Amino acid sequence: MTALSRRSFGISMLGALAAPAVFAQKKYGPGASDKEILLGQTQPYSGGASSYGTIGRAESAYFDMVNANGGINGRKVRLISLDDGYSPPKTVEMIRRLVEQDEVMAIFGLLGTPGNSSVARYLNQKRVPQLLISSGASKWLDTKTYPMTMTALPTYDAEASIYAKYALKQNPNARIGVLYQNDDLGRDYLKGLHQGLGAAASKHIAAEVSYEVTDPTVNAQILQLQSSGADVLIVAAVPKFAAQAVRRMGEIGWKPLLVLTNVANSIGTVIEPAGPQYAVGAISAAYMKDPTDPSWAKDEGMLRWHAFMDKYYPSGNKSDVYNVTGYYIASFMHRLLERCGDELTRENLMRMAESVKDWQFDSLVPGIRISTSPTDHGTIEQMQLMRYDGKRWVLFGELMQS
């Protein structure tokens, strides 16, 4: 046997001897095995917030792509995505089924502040990760109360504080009206607005008008806000009602400085249904790259997103930023699971989620970096202002924090 042959034989034997040790180090919890990783979520595929359902479809399509390319460390990802109609009682029923019957490894990307709020205590008591949820409620940053919960989005109050500062910079005597959803989502935006305005809040807030997600329209609320004398309107509403608000403002010829919050700024699901002419000059804040923005036409990350949409989600609307959101959230989960290696337990998944350092993603605005720790579950903490020019959102200024 030559020296090379002996060396090759030795390496081969070493690999054979090491294999059982590697296998012995594998550790699985609920929802994981040699062949599969099982995740669960609910999405509003029906009901008043159904325009968000495309986020779940994009996430499912993303894992179809992952599985077609060999999975994660040789394991296929199965995402059980159920329709809760944006109804918290349905969310509770379905999440319990996913945990107790399907025995998923984690709840991932569950959409909506009301739904997440209805199951957060249950999931945290069960020590089931509630990861990368589509809710920007500030309470998820309370790691003592919600140690197993982490949002994928900026918090609503931080975003609202940015708008408050911008409005006052443009007009020190601004009178601000707010249309908000009567739940944690809307109240967080109100809290952030008050924080941003500080002691001057009572001077600058002309009216705060709420709606219920079961309301047929917000036409009456828009008339009430117009009569308040507000010259700035912040719309903290899900897409259906945001589109109604923008259209009604246009119909009655009311032209305050329009601020569309991040949950309500999609061109595909808000501005186009409302009438783009009514949204010209509107302000919002971005953390996600806008798929309609030509400045990303040659961006490598967005080229990968377009290729993904063409092959794995061809029925999805490529002008809808929520499809970029779903891609980002799923890619985040992909990286966390990859880091888990062969220790696929709920505990290790949380360790990976709480030890992110300076991560960047294809679909985020350049410069945004994500870091986490056991006491900091905030993910995206920077945003950039943008203005709608009649065709697309145009970024301006620098990255901002509240």
In a domain, 260, yes or no: yes
Most confident of the ranges 15-24, 333-342, 388-397: 333-342
Average pLDDT over every residue of 10-21: 39
Half-sphere exposure of 144 (CA within 13 A, CB side): 0
**Tokens 């990286």 belong to residue:** 335
The answer to whether residues 147 and 192 belong to one domain is no
pLDDT of residue 184: 84
**Residue 78 belongs to domain with CATH number:** 3.40.50.2300
Q: Determine the Cα–Cα distance for residues 372 and 358; give it in Å rounded to an integer.
A: 9
Number of domains in the chain: 2
The answer to whether residues 110 and 220 belong to one domain is no
In a domain, 394, yes or no: no
Q: Determine the Cα–Cα distance for residues 50 and 87; give it in Å rounded to an integer.
A: 11
pLDDT of residue 402: 63
Is residue 1 pLDDT above 50, yes or no? no
Q: What is the pLDDT of residues 330-353, one digit of tens each?
A: 999 999 999 999 999 999 999 999
pLDDT of residue 400: 87
Q: Are residues 72 and 65 in contact, defined by beta-carbon separation less than 8 angstroms?
A: no
| SS3 call for 218 | coil
Q: Are residues 185 and 113 in contact, defined by beta-carbon separation less than 8 angstroms?
A: yes
The answer to whether residues 75 and 42 belong to one domain is yes
In a domain, 6, yes or no: no
The answer to whether residues 58 and 149 belong to one domain is yes
In a domain, 25, yes or no: no
Domain region containing 75:
36-154+297-381
Q: What is the pLDDT of residues 304-317, one digit of tens each?
A: 999 999 999 999 99
In a domain, 183, yes or no: yes
Distances (CA, A) of 343 to 20, 46, 149, 249: 15, 36, 20, 54
Question: In this structure, which amino acid lies at residue 61?
Answer: A
Q: Determine the Cα–Cα distance for residues 197 and 103; give it in Å rounded to an integer.
A: 46
pLDDT of residue 243: 97
| SS3 call for 171 | coil
Query: What pLDDT band is residue 5 in, cutting at 50, 70 and 90?
Result: very low
pLDDT of residue 185: 86
pTM: 0.81
Sheet of 176-181: strand order equals 205-211, 176-181, 232-236, 257-260, 283-286, 383-388, 393-400
Q: What is the pLDDT of residues 140-182, one digit of tens each?
A: 999 999 999 999 999 998 899 999 989 999 999 999 999 999 9
The answer to whether residues 51 and 121 belong to one domain is yes
pLDDT of residue 11: 38
Q: Are residues 94 and 100 in contact, defined by beta-carbon separation less than 8 angstroms?
A: no
Half-sphere exposure of 340 (CA within 13 A, CB side): 29
Q: What is the pLDDT of residues 178-190, one digit of tens each?
A: 999 998 889 999 9
